[in-house]
Amino acid sequence: MRGFSRLLLPRALMVGARALMAGALALAMSAGCGNGEAPPDALPGAPEEGVDPSEGIHFRVGIDQGTYDPGETIRVRMEVANVLEEERALFFRTGQRYDLIFLTPEGEEIHRWSEDRSFTQALGMEELRPGSEPLVWEESLQAPSVPGSYRLEAVVVADWMDLRATVPVEVSGG
């Protein structure tokens, strides 16, 4: 009897998984039918039409000093705060929450923090309650190897929002 139940359990799980997949496929196919427009609530957290989802959300970036030697470690702190009286949320398509980009004074990208990184492939959300402490991320990265003036642009990679902040970075002759 014990051996029989061991064989039965995996098959039952397989049947359940197949039924779940078939249901999900049917739901996805039916959502694609209609007038070609996605329903407004097709994605969780989708903003209402005509509403700026970043309104009331403040984003700022800071670094531990202003001038660095080439290749020196820069400590970066990013803060996202909700200044409204209502709850807001940030929705993400992956485990990545932010990106850091070094730019020349002309705006040419010379390095992107996320370029050689992998992130979990899972949806995520960060809640921003009114009056609560800001959401804080801290990161370290290397200063550019060539002396000069740069801009470090921090970007929150949330859906439906364009949250960016920039801070100047000077790299000395070493």
- Specify the 3-state DSSP secondary structure of 73: strand
Of 156, 87, 162, nearest to 128 by C-alpha is 87
Give the containing element (helix H, strand E) for 63. Answer: strand 57-63
Q: Poorest-confidence range of 32-36, 79-83, 85-89, 105-109? A: 32-36
Q: Is the pLDDT of residue 24 over 90?
A: no
When comparing pLDDT for 89 and 22, which is higher? Answer: 89
Give the containing element (helix H, strand E) for 10. Answer: helix 2-31
16 pLDDT band (50/70/90 cuts)?
very low
The pLDDT of residue 48: 45
Burial class (CB in 10 A: 0-12, 13-18, 19+), 19: exposed
The Cα 68–Cα 64 span in angstroms is 10
Of 111, 78, 73, 83, nearest to 96 by C-alpha is 78
Domains of the chain: 57-171 (2.60.40.2360)
The pLDDT of residue 160: 80
The pTM for the full model equals: 0.67
Cβ–Cβ < 8 Å for 87, 161: no
